[in-house]
Amino acid sequence: MFRKKDAILLLTSYGTMALGIFLPQLADPLRYAPVGFVMLLLLLSFLAIDVRGLLTHALKAPLTTAGLLVVKTVLMPLAMYILFHFAWPGYELAALLVAGASTAVLAPFFANLFDADVVLTAAVVILSSLLLPFTLPPLVWGLAGKSMQVGLLPMAQMLALMIFVPALLGRACARWTPGTTQWLLGNSYPLSLLAVGLTNIGVFSRYSEYFLKTPQQALEAMAAGSVMVVCLMALAGWFLRRMEPVLRSTSLVCLLFPNYILVLAFSCQFFGPLEATFAATYSVPFFLQLLFLRKVGGLR
């Protein structure tokens, strides 16, 4: 059932996207803030998670964890590349990149919304991010014939900054400042909304001129992203329908929310404007999934 929190999140998400596009001058101080606000989202998630037991928790169900990682990093991007290669030529590489991205850092936040396993979701975020340099470049080369030189050292530095730093800060805060931790946990939803909104403004203000000058290309990319979301939701909803509710919720969150912001950065560096536009506009169907996941996945 659609809830008030879902409506507030959607209004915040799309309202801040519009602000970034149509009033980029107001967002100028936030152009380089998305990384910081993404780290804040992870910090809020890790406040209630024991990092030392996170991977242990994931290894309690090794087949489930391994299955999620294989589907997320190999099978989904392969399926989407084949689908778009035949159904919408030109977008197959963009679909491959987004589908093959690691699980979004927003996933633990969504796991809370859907009563999923937050600890397992956080483990999949970390593990899929660690696997990304070894899975996505070979897929891009093997299927699309394009080189994607992702250095392991820069990737490790980025992961340390964006994932492990907030994880360690979260545990340090929980251990040494319990009062602050309780306040942050009690206000995690409005703080998460603030982080999502400011991240959107920062990201979309960078591409404001492109969206305004080539609206047809942006709308087409958005439509292609929406097709991908519909296909993934239909496939995931069908194959996961017999799982127990918590595991189904966790699997859907881990599989259906890719780190499109990371793909946006890759696309700008290694590929063309079409792939970058697809990644940027994917945020629209990305959040729109919230309208349908409770129904398609039977989520509470």
Residue ranges making up the domain that contains 120 = 4-296
pLDDT at 82: 96
Mean pLDDT of the chain, nearest integer: 85
Is the confidence at residue 230, as pLDDT, over 90? Answer: yes
What's the CA gap between 53 and 231, in Å, rounded? 35
Q: What is the pLDDT of residue 25?
A: 83
Could you tell me which residue, 100 or 205, shows the higher pLDDT? 100
| Percentage of the chain exceeding pLDDT 70 | 91
Question: What pLDDT does residue 91 have?
Answer: 95
The pLDDT, as a whole number, for residue 137 is 86
pLDDT for 71-117, tens place per residue?
Answer: 999 999 999 999 999 999 999 999 999 999 999 988 988 888 888 89
DSSP string, 246-263: HHHHHHHHHHH-B-HHHH
Output the domain CATH number for residue 105.
1.20.1530.20
The Cα–Cα gap between 171 and 51 comes to 7
Residue 248 and residue 236 in contact, taking contact as beta carbons nearer than 8 Å:
no
Q: Any idea what DSSP says for residue 28?
A: G
Unique residue bearing structure tokens 């793909």: 263
| Mean pLDDT of the 145-166 span | 71
158-181 tens-digit pLDDT: 767 777 788 888 888 988 998 999
Q: What is the pLDDT of residue 72?
A: 96
**How high is the pLDDT of residue 295?**
65
Highest mean pLDDT among 21-25, 211-215, 223-227: 223-227
Q: Is 276 a residue whose pLDDT tops 90?
A: no
Is the dihedral angle over the CA atoms 215, 140, 200, 206 positive or is it negative?
negative
Number of domains in the chain: 1
Question: Which helix (H) or strand (E) covers residue 99, if one does?
Answer: helix 92-99
User: Residue 154: its pLDDT value, please?
Assistant: 67
Give the predicted TM-score (pTM) of the model.
0.86
Digit-coded pLDDT (tens) for 44-63:
878 877 766 777 777 777 88
Whole-Å CA distances, 285 to 12, 115, 281: 14, 21, 8
